[in-house]
Amino acid sequence: MDSEYPVILFYKYVPIAGPDRFAAEHSALCKSLGLKGRVLVAEEGINGTLAGPREAIASYVKTLRADARFADIEIKQSEGDAATFPRLSVKARAEIVTLGAAVPLQADLHNHLSPAEWKRSIEQDPNILLVDVRNRYESAAGKFENALACDIEFFRELPAYLEKLEEHRDKTILMYCTGGIRCEKASALFRQNGFEKVFQLHGGIVNYQREFGNQHWLGECFVFDNRMTVKVEENLVHIGICAHSGRSTSRFVNCLHDSCHALFLLAPETEQENTETRLCPECLSKGLTSQTADYKGSPARLSKAATA
Ligand SMILES: [Zn+2]
């Protein structure tokens, strides 16, 4: 670990009895080490991303791996700083990533391709279809060449979206996500729905880029913390475009209208030209304006408070 303030990303599908109690104890551990970030615990496993001073992270990893269930857990590390996460949250949930499949499924743990196998398949097999199972704003910032990006706002929309992929049922599906956690469930979901040739990228984009950088990859990789995206500089091809102006950008904002809050790409120049672009295209098309949208300090909210 050479970074001064590393960010670690880890998950494991492994039975955890009593996730509530586990989460409480885990929260105490993270607090005692001064770590920030998010950890989700469920009966199906653990999923976390944490940041902190180097020594604190090292001691966290050591403690985690001392538990036999997590002895072999893979930890991905990147560079962060004290602002990467504003706070710490450790919670017990029904799932470590929410898919909400109608029929319960077990994560797929045995159809992974190593980054080298993945790259070879892309280069040699004409019958494969790359499927990006991340959310639409993530693939808008970066994706594998020729990948089919699922048009979903949340992972839990994937089960319904699967209908749109019917025509690809006979293809060899190579799916990927950021760090691998979503694929292990998505893979099981695809197979449950009759897709037979399904493979997933071991360790996700993060793992692939560590070995192969931007080869077959376009743009930046979205991450769920204040950094918003991480990228490999060498041979970087920008693909992110402003949702309003089409300008090249990798700047994400949340829609001004709080009940929407959708993430979208917005070029700084576009916002300067017209501040109404702080509303996402969908809200703008519904006729909302900065006068009528609902957000902290908005005219709409202030007048509501005045009449209440
Ligand atoms: Zn909106």
Q: Is the pLDDT of residue 1 over 70?
A: no
List, for residues 13-66, the tens digit of each pLDDT value.
999 999 999 999 999 999 999 999 999 999 999 999 999 999 999 999 999 999
Q: Which of 177, 242, 260, 280 is catalytic?
A: 177
Give the max Cα distance, the chain: 66
- Give pLDDT tens digits for 264-298: 999 999 999 999 999 999 999 999 999 999 999 89
From ligand 1's centre to the CA of 168, what distance in Å? 32
Place 307 in a pLDDT band, splitting at 50, 70 and 90.
confident
Alpha helix ranges (H) inside 37-178: 54-66, 115-124, 136-141, 158-161
Ligand 1 geometric centre to CA of 169 (Å): 34
pLDDT digits (tens, 9 = 90+) for 215-259: 999 999 999 888 899 999 999 999 999 999 999 999 999 999 999
- Predicted confidence (pLDDT) per residue in 167-214, tens digit: 999 999 999 999 999 999 999 999 999 999 999 999 999 999 999 999
Contacts of 115 (CB under 8 A, 6+ apart): 201, 202, 203, 207, 208, 210, 211, 212
Using the mean position of ligand 1's atoms as its centre, give its distance from the Cα of residue 179 in Å. Answer: 28
84-143 pLDDT, tens digit per residue, is 999 999 999 999 999 998 888 889 989 999 999 999 999 999 889 999 999 999 999 999
What confidence score (pLDDT) does residue 105 get? 87
Cα–ligand 1 centroid distance for 221 (angstroms)? 23
Question: Residue 308 — very low, low, confident or very high, per pLDDT cuts 50/70/90?
Answer: low
User: What is the architecture of the domain spanning 6-92?
Assistant: 2-Layer Sandwich (3.30)
CA angle 235/238/239 to nearest 5° reads 135
Domain locations along the chain: 6-92, 112-230, 256-307
Q: Which CATH class is domain 112-230?
A: alpha beta
Between the CA of residue 28 and those of 25, 35, 88, 135, 288, what are the distances in Å?
5, 10, 11, 32, 44
Report CA(217)–ligand 1 centroid distance (Å). 29
- Cα(259) to centroid(ligand 1), Å: 8
- Tell me if residue 177 is catalytic: yes
Per-residue pLDDT, 98: 94
The pTM assigned to this predicted structure is 0.88
Helices (H), the chain: 19-33, 54-66, 115-124, 136-141, 158-161, 181-192, 204-212, 268-273, 281-285, 299-307
Kindly list the strands in the beta sheet with 128-132, ordered across the sheet, starting from the edge strand earlier in the chain.
Answer: 112-113, 198-201, 172-176, 128-132, 148-149
Report the separation in Å between the CA atom of 248 and the middle of ligand 1, taken as the mean of its atom positions.
21
CA of 227 to the centre of ligand 1 (A): 22
Question: How far does CA 77 lie from the centroid of its chain?
Answer: 15
Can you tell me the mean pLDDT for 66-91? 94
- Please give the distance, rounded to the nearest whole angstrom, from the Cα atom of residue 283 to the centre of ligand 1: 4
